Amino acid sequence: MDKQRTFCLFLSYVGTFFRGSQYQLPPLKTVQHTIQNALESVLQVERKVPVRLASRTDAGVHAVVNVASFSLFMKTRVTRSLVTSLHQQLNQYLLQSSECLRVTDIKLVSEDAKAFDCRRSVTEKCYVYRLGVVPSHVGMLEYINKMDAFEAGMIGLTKFSRSIHILCQPTNT
């Protein structure tokens, strides 16, 4: 009898050529769409393999680690060699497809597919924002002050709506 098994994928990607991480209609090039296509191709299944992401990134944003999960109905017991083989085949497919996306790890999360949801089971998230250093010019001090205010609001638990509001204030120039 088939048993539903849930797997956790750890992904790393350069977001330059992705239109964000989550699926968008019409099927645009997203991380979720790309990993779903890779799974369906490698597993040679006729029906969709729904992939869930723990967090989302916007178009052009890179991720050192993002977590995804998917579930499969399987007759066989999941062994370490089966997971290793899936890991290798996914990365080979992504490499041959010239995708800037790699699976850094795969884990069998649960024999009970309802026990794990990568979006709801997450205990913490860490975002790192990197800004290029540019030569100073008129008005730069105003932007530096805004970034200082933004940074101060990022410490601890944060509601991002307030942070976006700080950055999106019109300038007085």
Residue 46: its pLDDT value, please? 80
Query: What single DSSP character describes residue 26?
Result: T
pLDDT at position 14 over 50: yes
The domain segmentation of the chain, as residue ranges, is 3-115, 129-173
Residue type, 4: Q
CA atoms within 13 A on the CB side of 24: 13
Confirm if 68 and 8 have CB atoms less than 8 A apart.
Answer: yes
Give pLDDT, residue 88.
96
**Is residue 47 pLDDT above 70, yes or no?**
yes
Residues 63, 22: contact at Cβ < 8 Å? no
Which of the two residues, 47 and 10, has the higher pLDDT score? 10
Residues 3-115, CATH architecture: 2-Layer Sandwich (3.30)
List CB contacts of 88: < 8 A, sequence separation 6 or more. none
Rounded distance, CA 157 to CA 126, Å? Answer: 11
Write out the catalytic residue numbers: 58
Average of pLDDT values for 30-48? 91
User: What's the pTM value of the predicted model, to 2 decimals?
Assistant: 0.70
Structure tokens at 99: 């995708």
Confidence of residue 163 (pLDDT cuts 50, 70, 90): very low
Average pLDDT for residues 107-125, to the nearest whole number? 78
Strands, sheet with 3-13, edge to edge from the N-terminal-most edge strand: 51-53, 63-74, 3-13, 101-110
Query: Does residue 94 surpass a pLDDT of 80?
Result: yes
Q: Give residue 74's pLDDT.
A: 82
125 by Cβ neighbours in 10 Å (0-12 / 13-18 / 19+) ranks as exposed
- Average pLDDT on 4-15 reads 91
